[in-house]
Chains A and B, each alone.
Chain A
Amino acid sequence: MNPSAQFRELVRYVEGDLTQLEAQKLERELQASAPLRQELERVRQYISDIGSTPPDLGEVDLLAGVDAQLAKPKMSQAPRWRHVVGALAIGAAASLLVVVAWRPRDGEFRIKGTAPVEAAKWAGIEAYQVTRKGETQRIGHSVGAEDGLAFAYRNGGEQPFTHLMIFGIDAKGDVHWFFPEWRDAATNPESIRIAGSKNAVELREVLRHEIPLGTLKVHGVFTHRPLTVKDVEAKLRASGPLENVTDHVLTFEVHP
Chain B
Amino acid sequence: MAVPASARLAEVVPLFGAEGTALSARSDDELMRLARAGRKEAFDVLIRRHQTSALKVAVKFLGEVAAARDAAQNTFVEIYRALPRYQTRGEFIFYLRRVLLNQCRMAIRGHRIKERAVESFAREPSVREALPPDDLLLELERRREVDRAIARLSEKLRETVVLRYTGGHSLEETAQILEVPLGTVKSRLFAAMDVLRAELGDFT
Contacts and interface: CB of A to CB of B under 8 A. Distances in A.
B193 A202 contact: no
A46 B193 contact: yes
A199 B146 contact: no
B113 interface: no
Interface residues of B, number: 59
Contacts of B55: 53, 57, 60, 62
Contact of B179 (A17, A66, A196, A198): A198
B194 A57 contact: no
B193 A8 contact: yes
Contacts, number: 140
Contacts of B52: 57-58, 60
A202 B84 CA distance: 12
A38 B165 CA distance: 20
Interface of A is mostly: mixed
Interface size bracket, A side: 35 or more
Contact of A46 (B5, B121, B204): B204
Given A62-B76, A138-B4, A50 B109 contact: no
B24 interface: no
A211 B117 CA distance: 46
B109 A54 contact: no
17 contacts: A7-B193, A12-B190, A42-B204, A50-B166, A51-B165, A56-B124, A57-B52, A57-B55, A63-B51, A66-B77, A69-B74, A70-B77, A74-B81, A137-B4, A195-B109, A199-B179, A204-B77
